[in-house]
Amino acid sequence: MSAAEVVRLKTAVTEHDHALGPVNAPVTLLEYGNFECSQCGQAYPVIKQIRNLLSRDRRFVCRRFPTVRTHPHSLRAAEAAEAAGAQGKFWEIHDELFTHQTALEDHDLLRYATRIGLDVTRFSREMSEHLFLAGIEAGYQQSLFNEHVTGTPTFYLNETRYTGATDLPTMLEAIKKSDPEGRIRLPQKASLIKRVVGKLLRGAGG
Protein backbone atom coordinates (compact mmCIF):
# COMPACT_ATOMS: atom_id res chain seq x y z
CA MET A 1 0.00 0.00 0.00
CA SER A 2 1.48 3.36 -1.04
CA ALA A 3 1.64 6.30 1.34
CA ALA A 4 -1.00 8.14 -0.67
CA GLU A 5 -3.45 5.25 -0.82
CA VAL A 6 -6.53 5.58 1.36
CA VAL A 7 -8.11 2.33 2.53
CA ARG A 8 -11.74 2.59 3.51
CA LEU A 9 -13.72 0.31 5.82
CA LYS A 10 -16.20 -1.77 3.82
CA THR A 11 -18.08 -3.36 6.73
CA ALA A 12 -19.93 -0.53 8.42
CA VAL A 13 -20.40 -0.41 12.19
CA THR A 14 -23.81 -1.69 13.27
CA GLU A 15 -25.67 -2.36 16.50
CA HIS A 16 -24.16 -5.85 16.47
CA ASP A 17 -20.66 -4.46 17.05
CA HIS A 18 -19.17 -3.98 20.48
CA ALA A 19 -19.07 -0.19 20.74
CA LEU A 20 -18.27 2.15 23.60
CA GLY A 21 -19.23 5.80 23.38
CA PRO A 22 -21.98 7.89 21.78
CA VAL A 23 -23.22 7.01 18.30
CA ASN A 24 -22.97 10.68 17.30
CA ALA A 25 -19.35 11.03 18.45
CA PRO A 26 -17.27 13.04 15.95
CA VAL A 27 -14.70 10.24 15.68
CA THR A 28 -15.05 6.47 15.72
CA LEU A 29 -11.90 4.47 16.41
CA LEU A 30 -12.30 0.86 15.33
CA GLU A 31 -9.82 -1.87 16.16
CA TYR A 32 -9.44 -5.35 14.74
CA GLY A 33 -7.74 -6.96 17.69
CA ASN A 34 -6.55 -10.22 19.16
CA PHE A 35 -6.53 -10.80 22.91
CA GLU A 36 -3.26 -12.75 22.77
CA CYS A 37 -1.40 -10.45 20.36
CA SER A 38 1.50 -8.67 22.08
CA GLN A 39 1.21 -5.63 19.80
CA CYS A 40 -2.47 -5.33 20.75
CA GLY A 41 -1.39 -5.61 24.36
CA GLN A 42 1.07 -2.75 23.90
CA ALA A 43 -1.61 -0.61 22.26
CA TYR A 44 -4.22 -1.44 24.92
CA PRO A 45 -3.12 1.08 27.61
CA VAL A 46 -2.96 3.80 24.96
CA ILE A 47 -6.48 2.99 23.77
CA LYS A 48 -7.68 2.94 27.35
CA GLN A 49 -6.19 6.39 27.97
CA ILE A 50 -7.93 7.67 24.84
CA ARG A 51 -11.18 6.15 26.08
CA ASN A 52 -10.78 8.05 29.36
CA LEU A 53 -9.50 11.35 27.96
CA LEU A 54 -12.09 11.63 25.19
CA SER A 55 -14.97 9.83 26.84
CA ARG A 56 -17.69 11.98 25.23
CA ASP A 57 -15.99 12.77 21.94
CA ARG A 58 -15.17 9.36 20.57
CA ARG A 59 -16.69 5.97 19.97
CA PHE A 60 -14.47 2.90 20.25
CA VAL A 61 -15.42 -0.27 18.38
CA CYS A 62 -13.76 -3.62 19.01
CA ARG A 63 -13.82 -6.42 16.45
CA ARG A 64 -12.11 -9.75 17.12
CA PHE A 65 -9.52 -11.15 14.73
CA PRO A 66 -8.16 -14.31 16.42
CA THR A 67 -5.21 -15.76 14.54
CA VAL A 68 -4.92 -19.21 16.06
CA ARG A 69 -1.79 -20.28 14.17
CA THR A 70 0.30 -17.69 15.94
CA HIS A 71 -1.92 -17.15 18.99
CA PRO A 72 -3.44 -20.49 20.03
CA HIS A 73 -5.51 -19.05 22.91
CA SER A 74 -6.94 -16.13 20.95
CA LEU A 75 -10.04 -17.91 19.67
CA ARG A 76 -11.01 -19.20 23.09
CA ALA A 77 -10.49 -15.73 24.55
CA ALA A 78 -12.72 -14.29 21.82
CA GLU A 79 -15.41 -16.81 22.76
CA ALA A 80 -15.13 -15.72 26.39
CA ALA A 81 -15.52 -12.09 25.35
CA GLU A 82 -18.69 -12.90 23.43
CA ALA A 83 -20.08 -14.93 26.32
CA ALA A 84 -19.45 -11.99 28.65
CA GLY A 85 -20.97 -9.64 26.09
CA ALA A 86 -24.13 -11.73 26.07
CA GLN A 87 -24.42 -10.84 29.77
CA GLY A 88 -23.71 -7.16 29.14
CA LYS A 89 -20.09 -7.20 30.31
CA PHE A 90 -18.00 -7.29 27.16
CA TRP A 91 -15.84 -4.32 28.13
CA GLU A 92 -15.17 -5.65 31.62
CA ILE A 93 -13.78 -8.91 30.28
CA HIS A 94 -12.09 -7.09 27.40
CA ASP A 95 -9.97 -5.26 29.98
CA GLU A 96 -9.32 -8.44 31.97
CA LEU A 97 -8.12 -10.31 28.89
CA PHE A 98 -5.74 -7.59 27.77
CA THR A 99 -4.43 -7.13 31.31
CA HIS A 100 -3.67 -10.86 31.61
CA GLN A 101 -2.59 -11.84 28.09
CA THR A 102 -0.30 -14.64 29.26
CA ALA A 103 -3.06 -16.39 31.22
CA LEU A 104 -5.80 -17.37 28.76
CA GLU A 105 -6.45 -21.02 29.59
CA ASP A 106 -10.04 -22.04 30.26
CA HIS A 107 -9.58 -21.93 34.04
CA ASP A 108 -8.19 -18.39 33.69
CA LEU A 109 -11.19 -17.32 31.62
CA LEU A 110 -13.51 -18.73 34.25
CA ARG A 111 -11.66 -16.77 36.93
CA TYR A 112 -12.13 -13.53 35.01
CA ALA A 113 -15.81 -14.33 34.49
CA THR A 114 -16.20 -14.77 38.25
CA ARG A 115 -14.25 -11.59 38.99
CA ILE A 116 -16.47 -9.39 36.82
CA GLY A 117 -19.66 -10.87 38.25
CA LEU A 118 -20.95 -13.03 35.41
CA ASP A 119 -23.39 -15.87 35.86
CA VAL A 120 -20.59 -18.44 35.73
CA THR A 121 -22.94 -21.39 35.22
CA ARG A 122 -24.30 -19.79 32.07
CA PHE A 123 -20.81 -18.69 31.02
CA SER A 124 -19.40 -22.21 31.42
CA ARG A 125 -22.29 -23.78 29.55
CA GLU A 126 -22.04 -21.39 26.60
CA MET A 127 -18.26 -21.83 26.47
CA SER A 128 -18.55 -25.64 26.49
CA GLU A 129 -21.18 -25.50 23.75
CA HIS A 130 -19.06 -23.07 21.67
CA LEU A 131 -22.21 -20.99 21.31
CA PHE A 132 -20.45 -17.98 19.76
CA LEU A 133 -17.83 -19.79 17.69
CA ALA A 134 -19.68 -19.67 14.37
CA GLY A 135 -20.23 -15.92 14.66
CA ILE A 136 -16.58 -15.29 15.50
CA GLU A 137 -15.40 -17.38 12.58
CA ALA A 138 -17.81 -15.63 10.21
CA GLY A 139 -16.53 -12.26 11.40
CA TYR A 140 -12.95 -13.41 10.91
CA GLN A 141 -13.64 -14.46 7.32
CA GLN A 142 -15.42 -11.19 6.61
CA SER A 143 -12.48 -9.22 8.00
CA LEU A 144 -10.02 -11.28 5.99
CA PHE A 145 -11.76 -11.11 2.62
CA ASN A 146 -13.70 -7.81 2.80
CA GLU A 147 -11.25 -5.65 4.73
CA HIS A 148 -8.04 -7.57 3.87
CA VAL A 149 -7.01 -7.55 7.52
CA THR A 150 -3.89 -9.67 7.85
CA GLY A 151 -2.62 -8.76 11.29
CA THR A 152 -3.43 -7.08 14.55
CA PRO A 153 -3.95 -4.48 15.69
CA THR A 154 -5.53 -2.91 12.61
CA PHE A 155 -7.16 0.47 13.23
CA TYR A 156 -9.66 2.64 11.39
CA LEU A 157 -10.48 6.27 12.17
CA ASN A 158 -13.89 7.26 10.82
CA GLU A 159 -13.76 4.29 8.43
CA THR A 160 -10.29 5.18 7.08
CA ARG A 161 -7.38 2.81 7.74
CA TYR A 162 -4.93 4.27 10.26
CA THR A 163 -1.33 3.25 9.72
CA GLY A 164 0.46 5.64 12.05
CA ALA A 165 2.18 5.01 15.36
CA THR A 166 0.17 3.81 18.35
CA ASP A 167 1.66 6.07 21.01
CA LEU A 168 -0.73 8.41 22.82
CA PRO A 169 0.31 11.80 21.36
CA THR A 170 0.34 10.53 17.77
CA MET A 171 -3.04 8.81 18.04
CA LEU A 172 -4.64 11.80 19.77
CA GLU A 173 -3.40 14.07 17.01
CA ALA A 174 -4.73 11.67 14.36
CA ILE A 175 -8.10 11.54 16.12
CA LYS A 176 -8.25 15.34 16.18
CA LYS A 177 -7.44 15.50 12.46
CA SER A 178 -10.20 12.97 11.78
CA ASP A 179 -12.79 15.22 13.44
CA PRO A 180 -14.61 16.84 10.48
CA GLU A 181 -16.34 19.50 12.57
CA GLY A 182 -13.49 20.41 14.91
CA ARG A 183 -15.50 19.40 17.99
CA ILE A 184 -12.66 17.58 19.75
CA ARG A 185 -10.52 19.56 22.16
CA LEU A 186 -7.45 17.70 23.32
CA PRO A 187 -7.23 17.67 27.13
CA GLN A 188 -4.53 19.67 28.89
CA LYS A 189 -2.98 16.43 30.12
CA ALA A 190 -2.67 15.08 26.57
CA SER A 191 -1.02 18.31 25.37
CA LEU A 192 1.48 18.07 28.21
CA ILE A 193 2.31 14.47 27.30
CA LYS A 194 2.88 15.51 23.71
CA ARG A 195 5.27 18.30 24.71
CA VAL A 196 7.26 16.02 27.01
CA VAL A 197 7.56 13.31 24.36
CA GLY A 198 8.58 15.94 21.80
CA LYS A 199 11.37 17.18 24.07
CA LEU A 200 12.63 13.65 24.61
CA LEU A 201 12.69 12.97 20.90
CA ARG A 202 14.50 16.23 20.15
CA GLY A 203 17.03 15.41 22.87
CA ALA A 204 17.62 11.97 21.39
CA GLY A 205 18.13 13.48 17.97
CA GLY A 206 20.74 15.92 19.25
CATH, residue 76: 3.40.30.10
**Is residue 7 one of the residues assigned to a domain?**
no
pLDDT of residue 197: 46
pTM as predicted? 0.87
**Residue pLDDT, tens place only, 55-77:** 888 999 999 999 999 999 999 99
User: Strands, E, within 40-114: which ranges?
Assistant: 58-64
Looking at residue 25, the DSSP 8-state letter turns out to be -
pLDDT of residue 188: 65
Dihedral pair phi/psi, residue 15, rounded to 5° = -70, -15
Mean pLDDT of the chain: 90
**Is residue 116 one of the residues assigned to a domain?**
yes
Cα of first residue to Cα of last residue in the chain, in angstroms, is 32
**Is residue 27 one of the residues assigned to a domain?**
yes
What whole-number distance in Å separates Cα of residue 106 and Cα of residue 125?
A: 12
**Is residue 183 one of the residues assigned to a domain?**
no
**Is residue 180 one of the residues assigned to a domain?**
no
**Is residue 13 one of the residues assigned to a domain?**
no
**Is residue 2 one of the residues assigned to a domain?**
no
Q: Please give the tally of structural domains in the chain.
A: 1
pLDDT of residue 120: 98
**Is residue 159 one of the residues assigned to a domain?**
yes
Lowest-pLDDT choice from 8-17, 74-83, 179-188: 179-188
Identify whether the C-beta of residue 66 lies closer than 8 Å to the C-beta of residue 136.
yes
Q: How far is CA 85 from CA 74, 129, 140, 168, 171, in A?
A: 16, 16, 18, 27, 27
173, HSE (Cβ side, Cα atoms, 13 Å): 12
Q: Which domain holds residue 108?
A: 18-164
